[in-house]
Amino acid sequence: MSGHSKWANIRVRKTAQDARRGKIYTKYARLIEISAREGGGDPTTNNRLRGMIDAAKAESVPNANIERAIKKGTGGLKGEAMQEVVYEAYGPSGSAFIVECLTDNRNRTLANVKAAISRNGGRFAEAGSVTWMFERRGVVIAGGGDKGLGDKISDPKKLEELELKLIDLGADDFSTTDDHLQVVTDGAKWSGIRDFLKGQGFTIESAGLQYVPKQTAPVDGHTMLKVESLVEALEEDDDVSEVHTNAVVSE
């Protein structure tokens, strides 16, 4: 029984990883398509496209997917044009949510997002209702690989050297846990920090522009479970690319 259980757990974990990988591929294909449509298919002259290609490659998106997305964006392949849309909402205990979407059907996406918010204790909000609580920043989240962060930041001197180097590269905020390191920077500098951390042996878990809250909404542990349920429900939709909230667990 234990062997069966272990194999079942591995299979479930692999299925979850495959689903996450598939969503990442879809997300970057859509972003690359939009970037190519707006600024052309040459990454040497289209800075946004170059950044999206770099981010996609960092997530191991296949070159064939990237090339197909560029062709679709420049009209070389037919299909409905992708659009970027942003929705706003209030969650449990007045927490604020920003939901970024990439879609070829705004009506479908809006209906799905509204339904997920309503079913999980939230309230859809008008444009501008909560975005003022956030600012657009570059965010890089890294792990330490198979051995965790221990061997990279356990020595206070190593940690101090790392922090000083990150500040030189443009980091405005730097925090660590046992498992992750997070760096917040100007919107134009996140790729340099990502590349530096990769060169230092860190595993990049996510990197790019995010809505970072300027003011947080403290909630208790029970409410945070409701917040997490709302985030998960939104992220299950293929059209949803990012979900941001200002909810934090109160001390």
Mark whether 209 and 155 lie in a shared domain: yes
Mark whether 106 and 221 lie in a shared domain: yes
- What are the tens digits of pLDDT across the range 122-141? 999 999 999 999 999 999 88
Task: Give the burial string for 91-122 (b: 16+ CB within 10 Å, else e).
Answer: bbbebbbbbbbbbeeeeebbebbeebbeebeb
Structural domain span for residue 50: 2-73
Q: How many domains would you assign to the chain?
A: 3
Mark whether 93 and 36 lie in a shared domain: no
CATH code for the domain of 39: 1.10.10.200
Tell me the pLDDT band of 18, cut-offs 50, 70 and 90: low
Mark whether 109 and 153 lie in a shared domain: no
Mark whether 67 and 88 lie in a shared domain: no
Q: For 191-220, what is the mean pLDDT?
A: 87
* 56 within domain boundaries: yes
Radius of gyration over alpha carbons of the chain, in Å?
19
pTM, 2 dp: 0.75
Cβ atoms of 91 and 219 closer than 8 Å:
no
Mark whether 56 and 162 lie in a shared domain: no
* 64 within domain boundaries: yes
- Tally the C-alpha atoms within 13 A of residue 146's C-alpha that lie toward its C-beta: 0
CATH code for the domain of 120: 3.30.70.980
- Tally the C-alpha atoms within 13 A of residue 157's C-alpha that lie toward its C-beta: 0
Q: What percent of the chain is helix, strand and coil (3-state, nearest 5)?
A: 50, 25, 25
Paired tokens of 33: 């398509």
Mark whether 122 and 180 lie in a shared domain: no
Mark whether 115 and 11 lie in a shared domain: no
Tell me the pLDDT band of 42, cut-offs 50, 70 and 90: very high
- What are the tens digits of pLDDT across the range 67-103? 999 999 998 888 788 899 999 999 999 999 999 999 9
Mean model confidence pLDDT for the chain: 85
